[in-house]
Structure 1
Amino acid sequence: MSKRIFTGKSVLLDGSEPVSATIVIDTLSGKIDEIRPYICDRTDFADVDDADWIDAGDNFILPGLVDSHVHLNEPGRTDWEGFWTGTRAAASGGVTTLVDMPLNSIPPTTTVENLEVKRKAAEGQCWTDVAFWGGVIPGNQAHLKPLVDAGVKGFKCFLIESGVDEFPCVNESDVLLALEELHDRPTVLCFHAELDAAEHSEPHAEPQAQDPTMYSTFLSSRPQQLEIDAIALIARLHKQYPSLRLHIVHLSASLALPLIRAAKASGLPLTVETCFHYLCLSAEHIPHGRPEFKCCPPVREGPNRDTLWEALLDGTIDCVVSDHSPCVASLKKLDEGNIMSAWGGISTLGLGLSLLYTESKRRGVYIRQMVDWVCKKTAEHAGLAHRKGQLKVGYDADLIIWDPNAEFKVTKESLNFKNKLTPYEGLTLQGRVQKTFLRGKLIYDAGTGGFTGHTPSGILL
């Protein structure tokens, strides 16, 4: 038989609390063929091989995560990260689909030609399925519709300098040109929503009299007002093109939430994401001289984090992503501890679900809500809701076996991404992925050494 059976007492089906259920996979198509009541014996599947009968017992069976905000950086900055290492790291954390950002690769994904360069670089290297965002930069408006036709899931732009020369930020005129090009297409425009209105989209100057190794120095250089000003601009422009969905990436500023609520209440199709680091870290607990905690926008104080959680729970924030944004060690300025001059980006692939679960337990948040934020809503955002993010008949058989009682310490040796720098090193987390399946095929097994004996089976979406 071309069947693989998953059975368990805690299965997360669409819109439900964990239930006892059995999922039947057609291994030829890689799709979910049936969902039945829980079966504890194999009478109905006597001809299924032992290897194709997976009993999760008391562990959870969850949909594979869809991480819609990842920087894989290949080609051009493959020493920072790459498709091979990045997708392996993702699979180890239960991610079965990720969407690659249009920067920091060289070339950036701002034309169809550049998209094809990236796709060629990815071929044969992906342990998970991979989709791509396009980029909006000054002067590339004529390339946007062709990129939609070529399959990008949407576009990203920066309202403040991105940190890499080949992906410059846009101004209001550039955004209007992009909106005019895209408003009648089935796509989404995503914004890095920081804007220094007083400096015409230039970052705040580095404080002259403050210690660059103190996190508070960096935090004061990226105040919440930058996000407020950016989201105010986005909401104003959105009213001129209300048929196009706009999206705020990596929201960190709780003071911007009233603007978001007002835009949504007015009927504008605006969606918002936040990141694991904004929900799990707080500025007052970041040690002196630790640039691995730097990201843009910054991790803010504990009360701000609590308000982001409230907004996530009430639906103002739609989903949670990693914004995995690595670099080589030298750019993190670890020896100097200079947070101001270090590259801004936090590496998370492989840890996100455990981070969120650990923090969620402290806050009394249920696993069903978590799955909605990191599977269903992210799939919807990336235009993949017809096949990813849920355990439903006809969907890709992307699922994970999740042990909610497992505890582990984050060590360099346990990390699967290329440059093993993360602010989470040393933390003890609860909940761990035991196995990850992509279209019914095992791609990661924590119990047998991870990826040993396997070859990449991810496809480009």
Structure 2
Amino acid sequence: MDLVIRARRAVTGQGEVPATVSVRDGRIAAVQPYDAAVHGADVVELDDDVVLLPGLVDSHVHINEPGHATWEGFASATRAAAAGGITTLVDMPVDSVPATVSVAALAAKRAAAEGRCHVDVGFWGGLIPGGIDAAAALHRAGVLGFKCFLADSGAPDFPPLSPDGLTAAMRALRELDAVLLVHAESDAEIAKRPAARGPSYAGFLNSRPPQVEEAAVAAVIDAARATGARAHIVHLSSATALPLIAAARRDGVRVSAETCPHYLSLAAEQIPDGATEFACCPPIREAANRERLWSGLAAGTLDLVVSDHSPCAAELKHRDTGDFGAAWGGISSLQLALPIVWTEARGRGVPLAEVARWMSERPARLAGLPAKGRIAPGYDADLCVFAPGETFTVRVEDLHHRQPITPYTGRRLHGVVRRTWLRGRDIDPTHPAGRLLTRLEDPS
């Protein structure tokens, strides 16, 4: 074997168990009992205070290169991912220039990423009005699926789909058997509310109440039911939409949903007026809503947890005025996602093996990456050594994000990533070794 890892605690298909994991040619060759007699060129004995996890898969990351590389770039984002135990991420098609809504734009993305990634990177394609033919071409070019908006995206080159456009898009993607990721906020419902302005967080929250998400989720379910397409609700914030999703799934509608670390850890009651580092869309809601999201994860209505890492240039947060109406909506948390979720999970008695399913196995399944997300024979040897009992305080100077503005600064978190392997090799922050993934080929 090229690498043998002995761990008293390893998260495998059997839960958290003692195991010996053997690696050959970048793939997991065997998962055996801890005391198995296995020889390797490199043998690593892990300490008893750490857990061997599958490398995390983050299927919702905004890397703004090309066009807005000063916001975030492939080199900085993937260094941050590796530091946080993430070994695969999927880039969103919006907030770069051009948006990834054509084969030419995908080629520009791949050119910007080539040779600069420290973890493996895949790409979602964008679907905008009139873009069905372009989506078919992007599918042929290897994107992992598609993303659309039902409300203003904030990017002029990425307009939202109308209800009729959503149904037409799903009908086309059903023929391709491609998943559609949907930013589920309703333009019509937003238009009924006063626009957010000024430093009041309560005002910002009232501009996007739960009905905004409920209406959009209902529209997605109706379109998925009518077409038989696969739909996925991204960054669900409002727990009031959970019964809609649960009922649709009982009826056989092909709909799944995700939530994010900020919705699972933060609460509106704790957000000061003017603290625009907390601004995101949909917004962070009240503590009672947060607890219902945790219940949704436990029940399986929510399938996975991903960062929605969405950075911007510092001035776009308008921290000088604290104006939530003007501030860019997005939370930077890529490097911190696992400790944030684990800090909250451990306090609720949720085992680390369940966290790994939410943050590794299920995002890999959504993105159609069959070699990622599990410690099992035949999978890529993407692995993370995690110390769940160790704590640290978030400091801006320790973050690798290009723009390290984050609402977690100063927060005490549980769980430290001590080491990551990508296909059986230590991730070296000075030598990018990540690959660009496509739907068309097995990169391993």
Pairwise TM-score range, normalised by the shorter structure: over 0.9
Q: 1:408: which partner in 2?
A: 392
In structure 1, what residue type is equivalent to 2:352?
Answer: I
Cα distance change on mapping 1:60 and 1:198 into 2, 3 Å: closer
Deviation of 1:460 (Å):
0.4
Is the aligned partner of 1:34 residue 2:30?
Answer: yes
Contact in 2 for aligned 1:119/1:460 (Cα 8 Å): yes
Q: Aligned partners of 1:97 and 1:4: how far apart in 2? A: 20
Q: 1:448: which partner in 2?
A: none
Deviation of 1:17 (Å):
2.4
Cα distance change on mapping 1:177 and 1:44 into 2, 3 Å: closer
Deviation of 1:335 (Å):
1.2
Cα distance change on mapping 1:203 and 1:114 into 2, 3 Å: farther
Deviation of 1:348 (Å):
0.4
Deviation of 1:67 (Å):
0.2
Equivalences for residues 118-267 of structure 1 within 5 A: 118-198=109-189, 202=191, 204-206=193-195, 212-242=198-228, 244-267=229-252
Is the aligned partner of 1:18 residue 2:16?
Answer: yes
Cα distance change on mapping 1:4 and 1:223 into 2, 3 Å: same
Deviation of 1:125 (Å):
0.5
Q: Aligned partners of 1:65 and 1:203: how far apart in 2? A: 39
Q: 2:307 aligns with which of 322, 329, 337?
A: 322
Q: 1:440 aligns with which of 424, 435, 441?
A: 424
Deviation of 1:61 (Å):
0.4
Q: Aligned partners of 1:336 and 1:108: how far apart in 2? A: 30
Cα distance change on mapping 1:392 and 1:44 into 2, 3 Å: closer
Post-superposition Cα deviations, 1:28-55, rounded to whole Å, max 9, x if no partner, equal x210111121138xx742xx44xx2211
Q: Aligned partners of 2:87 and 2:264: how far apart in 1? A: 22
Q: Aligned partners of 1:257 and 1:181: how far apart in 2? A: 27
Q: Is there any run of 5+ residues in structure 2 with no aligned partner, and where?
A: 438-444
Q: Aligned partners of 2:187 and 2:131: how far apart in 1? A: 23
Identity %: 46
Q: 2:44 aligns with which of 39, 54, 71?
A: 54
Post-superposition Cα deviations, 1:48-96, rounded to whole Å, max 9, x if no partner, equal 44xx221112110000000000000110111100100001001100000
Equivalences for residues 74-89 of structure 1 within 5 A: 74-89=65-80
Q: What is the SS of the residue equivalent to 1:32?
A: strand
Q: 1:9: which partner in 2?
A: 8
Contact in 2 for aligned 1:196/1:229 (Cα 8 Å): no
Q: 1:366: which partner in 2?
A: 351
Q: Aligned partners of 1:225 and 1:81: how far apart in 2? A: 32
In structure 2, what residue type is equivalent to 1:160?
Answer: A
Contact in 2 for aligned 1:347/1:421 (Cα 8 Å): yes
In structure 2, what residue type is equivalent to 1:81?
Answer: E
Q: What is the SS of the residue equivalent to 1:12?
A: strand
The CA RMSD measured in Å over matched residues stands at: 1.4
Deviation of 1:236 (Å):
1.3
Q: 2:362: which partner in 1?
A: 377
Q: Aligned partners of 2:283 and 2:192: how far apart in 1? A: 13
Q: What is the SS of the residue equivalent to 1:368?
A: helix
Q: 1:307: which partner in 2?
A: 292
In structure 1, what residue type is equivalent to 2:211?
Answer: Q
Deviation of 1:177 (Å):
2.3
Is the aligned partner of 1:272 residue 2:257?
Answer: yes
In structure 2, what residue type is equivalent to 1:115?
Answer: L
Instruction: Tell me which stretches of 4 or more aligned residues in structure 1 moved more than 4 Å.
Output: none
Is the aligned partner of 1:95 residue 2:86?
Answer: yes
Deviation of 1:176 (Å):
2.3
Post-superposition Cα deviations, 1:155-209, rounded to whole Å, max 9, x if no partner, equal 110000001111111101221221222112231011100003356xx584425xx
Q: Aligned partners of 1:423 and 1:372: how far apart in 2? A: 26
Q: Aligned partners of 1:25 and 1:218: how far apart in 2? A: 50
Cα distance change on mapping 1:204 and 1:110 into 2, 3 Å: farther
In structure 1, what residue type is equivalent to 2:385?
Answer: I
Contact in 1 for aligned 2:193/2:206 (Cα 8 Å): no
Q: 2:374: which partner in 1?
A: 390
Q: Aligned partners of 1:420 and 1:460: how far apart in 2? A: 25
In structure 2, what residue type is equivalent to 1:295?
Answer: C
Q: What is the SS of the residue equivalent to 1:239?
A: helix
Q: Aligned partners of 2:38 and 2:309: how far apart in 1? A: 44
Q: 2:440: which partner in 1?
A: none
Is the aligned partner of 1:69 residue 2:54?
Answer: no
Q: Aligned partners of 1:214 and 1:356: how far apart in 2? A: 27
Deviation of 1:368 (Å):
1.0
Number of equivalences: 436
Contact in 1 for aligned 2:4/2:38 (Cα 8 Å): no
Post-superposition Cα deviations, 1:359-398, rounded to whole Å, max 9, x if no partner, equal 01111111111011000111111111x2000001111000
In structure 2, what residue type is equivalent to 1:239?
Answer: R
Q: What is the SS of the residue equivalent to 2:15?
A: coil
Q: Aligned partners of 1:17 and 1:276: how far apart in 2? A: 23
